[in-house]
Structure 1
C-alpha cells in the first residue's frame, strides 16, 4: 500500500507489513471473544489501517458490516440493526481540507455496540464510552495468525444498496466474490504485479472491497489518499505515487474540469482510467483522458449485488468516451423493450448464472427483487435449430439500467428504469429520500426522481413537493431546508439540483406515485404550469 495522510509525505507498506497488522487485528478480535460468523461493522475512511481491519475480520471467519463514513447517525442505526453488528471499528475524527469532522460522535449517537476507536493523533485525548476500546489497547502484539477455514458460501461482508421501500438492501458477499473482483481487475483493467491502483472510495461502498481484492489478488499496490480528492494535493499524489490505473466517478471529473485543479501535473505513468458509479459525460471524459496524454477510459457498470460489473470495456478495443464495449467476461445480458422483446434500446437484464451474482438478501426476498415477473432468456429460432446454447432458458435477472446498443456494437448507458438513482457514485432509492423529506414540517408529500441530462453525465436529483396550506416559505429557503435535512439524515453528497412545487403528485389507480411520469414531464420541460420551480 502507498498512502498519504493529510499534510504528510508518502508512506509505503509492504505485503509483509500489511499481513502482520492484519494478523494483529485478527488476534485482537479473538482475544475479545469474537467467534466465526459474528458481524463486525467498519465505519472508517479508506486508510491503510482500514484495509488491515477489513482483512483481519475476514481472516477470523467473522463478517464485515460496511458503513460509509459520510453517513448520518440515523443511517448507521439502520445498518447496525439489519446486520446485528456485535462491534464496530471507527475513528475519532476525519480530516478533510483542514477540517475535523466527527465520526466517533456519530457512532455514539447511533447507540452502536462496543467500538474500537482509532485516531490519527499520536496521543489521543478523546474520552470513550464505557466498554469502548482504544485502537492501541485492542491490537495484539502477535503478528501470526492462521486463517479460520470457512465454506465458500460463508459471508465475508455485508454491504448495502438502495431499496425501493425505504430500508437499504443488505447484500452478503461470500468467499467467492473476490474472484469476480480480481477477474474484472485483471481481464478488463489489466491489473498486473507492479501496477499502482488508486480509486477514491470507502469500505461503505462496493468499490472499497473491490479495490482491495482487485489489487492484492493481482499483486498490485493500493494507493490511498486520506484527504479530499477534489484538491490539487490529490493530483500531486497521483503523480508522486506513480499511479498506473486511476478510478473516478464522473462528478469528480466534472469538479476537476471546473476548477482546473489538475493542470500542469505529470500523470504519464497512468496507462488507463476507469469510470463508475454514474453516467458519464463525453466532454468530461475527453478532458480526463487529456490529463494523461489521452489514455483510455474503461467504463465500468455493475453493482454491489454483482461483485463488479456486468457491462464494461477493455484495453484491447478502441476507447470512445462514455461508451461500453462488452459484457463483462463470465456473464451476458440482453436488452428488452417495454414488451419484453429484444431491442437496441431498453432495459438491460442479466443472463444468469455467473460468479459474483448475489443469491440472497438478509432483509428482503431475493427472488422478488431480482427475478419476479422477469421474462425467460430469448433464444432466436435460428440458434435453437442450430443447437446453440448461447442463451439458455433461464429467467432473466433484473438490474434496472436503461441501455442503448449503438450502430458500432458499443453500448451507452441511459440511467435507471426503476426508482433508484446514482448520486455522486452512490446508489440510493427515491423512497429513502422521500421518507426523510416528508417528515419536514409544512411538507405534505414529496417525490424524488433522477434526471439524466440530454448531454450525458451524472444523474441530477429533482425533488417534487406538495406543501401544506400554511407553508409560505420562499422556494430558495425551502430548498435550503430540504438540502439540510438530506445532509443531516442521509448523506451530504446527495445534492438537490432542482425543486418543483406542485399541487399534487400523479398516482396510479392503486395510489402509487408515478415517478416515471414526473421524469417525462421534467425532461419535456412541462411541469405543471402552476408549479414554482427553482434551479
Structure 2
C-alpha cells in the first residue's frame, strides 16, 4: 500500500497537534483513548477550543440516565447560538467578510459579519411578526443564495426549527417533508440560474404549500429579478410575503434569547431503506459544536480561513458550513449553478477570486472534471488552497490520485470525511499533516468511539465488518421527529449497545480505515443519500406499474446510479415498445422526485424477486444485475425470478 505525505503541510503546526500538546495527551492515539475513557473532560475542552459561550453555564456535561440511545448533553446550559455565530464576531471584527456568494453568471456579493448580524436580526423580527417563535418549524426551499444562511440563523435566533430541503426537489417531495414537520412558514425562491438558464421554483413551492394545511406564510426570495410573485397563483389558506420586505423589519434590541443545549435547532430529512423520509433532529448545543470541532480537528480550519463546499443547503454540508465555520469566525463561500459551467475551469476561478483555503468537493465532481481539457487549474490559481475535503461517497483510486497529484501538486491533503446526517458531521477523517493513503482515512475523529465489528459485535481487523460507535457524542441526532421507535430500531436494534451506522468498513494492518459502501439498501447518487422506497412509490403511482424495486448500481461518474425494476398491470401492452414506456416512467419519476433523481434505467420484469413472506430482495436484485454473489436464495419465493435480472445483466454487458 502506497502512503502519501502532502509536502505543503506540517503536522506540529495544526490545531489538532496543538490541542494534543496543550492538554498533555502525548499523541493522537492517546487523545483517542482518553476521549473515550473520559468523554466529559474531552468535550469540555472541545467547547473551549471552538469558543462556544454560554448564557447560563451547564452543570453536567453528559447525563446518560436515559441510556446510551438518549444522552443529554450540557445539562442546564443555555446559549444564544446566533450571538456565538454572528454577534460576537460582528462586535470584534465588524468589517470582516462572513459570506461570499457567486451567481451562475459570475455576480458577486460580500456580506460582512456586521451586515449579516443586521440582516439576521431583521429577518428574526420579521418571522416573529408572522407568528413564528420557539418550536415553530420553518421550511427552507432555497438554492445556494445568502438568504438561505440568513434564514437558518434567523430561525435559530427565535428558537424556531429549520427544515432545509434540497432545491432540486419536486412539489411532492417538498410536501412530504413540510407535512411531516407541520411547518407554518415556507421560505422559497422564485427560481435560480443554472447553466445560464433560469430554473423556476415558485410553482412547485406554491403547489406544495397548497397541499399543506399547516403552512400559514410563504416567504419568497426574488432571485430571478422579475418580482417575487410574478405570475403566481395560490390557495387561500396562506399569505405570500416578500423576503426583502420581511428582512427590513425593525429589530427589537431587547429580543435576544437563549435556548437550552438540547432544544431542537433543525430537522434534516434523510431517506432510509424503508418508509417515509425521516426527520433527523439536531440541537442548539450539539450540531454547531460537532461541526466546528470537525472543522478544527479534521480540516485545521482557522479564523482567517475561507471554506467552500460544493453542496446544497438541503444536504447536511450546507448547514454544516453555516453553523460550524461561522462559529469559528471564518468565511464561507456559497456558489450558485454548477462548477463546470461555462467550462470546467469555473471552479478554480471561483477559488482564486474568493481566496478559498478549504475546498470541499465530491468524488463524483472530480470524476466529471477529469474528463475535461479545462479541468487542470492554471498555475497560481490554487495558491490559497491548503486543504481539499471530500464526503458523501467512497473514492476510486484514479480520481483520488488525479486530485492529489495533478490538481493538488502532491502538496495538499485530501481530508476524506465520512459520517452522515444523523451523525451531525463525521465519524472518520484524515488529519492534515499526517501521511495518508489513497481513498482511506487516518481514523476516527477524536470523540467518536468507532470500531469495525462482525455480526456478533466482536472487533475485526483486516477484514470487512460493520462500522459501529460505542459511545454517544454531542452532534448525534436527538431521535427522529415524532418517531423515537424508528430511531431506536434503525441504529440500536441490530447490536444492542452499539450504534450500527450501516456502512461496511475495514481497518488494515497499518491502521488505515476504509469504507466499502452501505450495508443496508440506501442509495447514494452523487453523494446524496436516498431511500429506494421514494423511487418505488413514485413508480407505483403510475397506472402502468404494479410493483417496483429500486437499487443503486456502480456508476463511473455519479458513484451510484439508480436502476429500477417494475412489474406491470397489463404486461402485454406495456412491454410493446418498452423504450417509449421506459421514457414515460423516467419522466414520471423526475416529475415527482425532481429532475436530478431521474433513474438511469427502468426494466420490466414478470416477477420481482421476493421472500416467501413478501419482502423484496433488493440486495439480491442489485447483485444479480451487477454480477456479484447473491448469497443464500433459500428464502426466495420463486428462485427463477432472479433469472430475468441476470438476463438483463447479460444484455447490459
So what's the TM-score if we normalise by structure 1? 0.91
Residue in structure 2 matched with residue 381 of structure 1 by the alignment: none
Pairwise mapping of residues 367-516 of structure 1 onto structure 2 (< 5 A)? Answer: 367-375=488-496, 395-452=497-554, 458-467=559-568, 468-470=570-572, 471-516=574-619
How many residues get paired? 515
Residue in structure 1 matched with residue 371 of structure 2 by the alignment: 258
1:423, 1:493 within 8 Å by CA — same for their partners in 2?
Answer: no
Cα deviation, residue 495, structure 1: 4.6
Pick the aligned partner of 2:464 from 335, 345, 348.
345
Residue in structure 1 matched with residue 70 of structure 2 by the alignment: none
Cα deviation, residue 210, structure 1: 0.2
Residue in structure 2 matched with residue 78 of structure 1 by the alignment: 176
Cα deviation, residue 184, structure 1: 0.3
Pick the aligned partner of 2:258 from 146, 149, 153.
149
1:41, 1:80 within 8 Å by CA — same for their partners in 2?
Answer: yes
The separation in 2 between residues aligned to 1:122 and 1:292, in whole angstroms, is 38
Deviations 1:114-152 (A, max 9, x none): 111111355616155462111222223435644322111
Pick the aligned partner of 2:394 from 276, 279, 289.
279
2:387, 2:415 within 8 Å by CA — same for their partners in 1?
Answer: yes
Q: Secondary structure at the match of 1:496?
A: coil
1:322, 1:412 within 8 Å by CA — same for their partners in 2?
Answer: yes
Cα deviation, residue 312, structure 1: 1.6
1:5, 1:226 within 8 Å by CA — same for their partners in 2?
Answer: yes
Which ranges in structure 2 are unaligned for 5 or more consecutive residues? 1-98, 630-641
The separation in 1 between residues aligned to 2:626 and 2:106, in whole angstroms, is 47
The separation in 1 between residues aligned to 2:579 and 2:440, in whole angstroms, is 37
**Aligned-residue RMSD, C-alpha:** 2.2
Pick the aligned partner of 2:155 from 42, 57, 60.
57
The separation in 2 between residues aligned to 1:259 and 1:475, in whole angstroms, is 34
Q: Secondary structure at the match of 1:259?
A: coil
Pairwise mapping of residues 27-426 of structure 1 onto structure 2 (< 5 A)? Answer: 27-110=125-208, 111=210, 113=215, 114-121=217-224, 124=227, 126-127=230-231, 129=234, 131-142=239-250, 145=253, 146-176=255-285, 177-231=287-341, 232=343, 233-265=346-378, 266-289=381-404, 290-294=406-410, 295-343=412-460, 344-364=463-483, 365=485, 366-375=487-496, 395-426=497-528
The separation in 1 between residues aligned to 2:162 and 2:425, in whole angstroms, is 18
Which ranges in structure 1 are unaligned for 5 or more consecutive residues? 376-394
Structure 1 residues 260 and 456: alpha-carbon distance in aligned structure 2, compared to 1, 3 A threshold? closer
So what's the TM-score if we normalise by structure 2? 0.75
The separation in 2 between residues aligned to 1:469 and 1:209, in whole angstroms, is 46
Residue in structure 2 matched with residue 15 of structure 1 by the alignment: 113
Structure 1 residues 357 and 259: alpha-carbon distance in aligned structure 2, compared to 1, 3 A threshold? same
2:271, 2:277 within 8 Å by CA — same for their partners in 1?
Answer: yes
Q: Which has the higher helix share?
A: 2
**Worse-matched range after superposition: 408-417 or 226-235:** 226-235
Q: Secondary structure at the match of 2:468?
A: strand
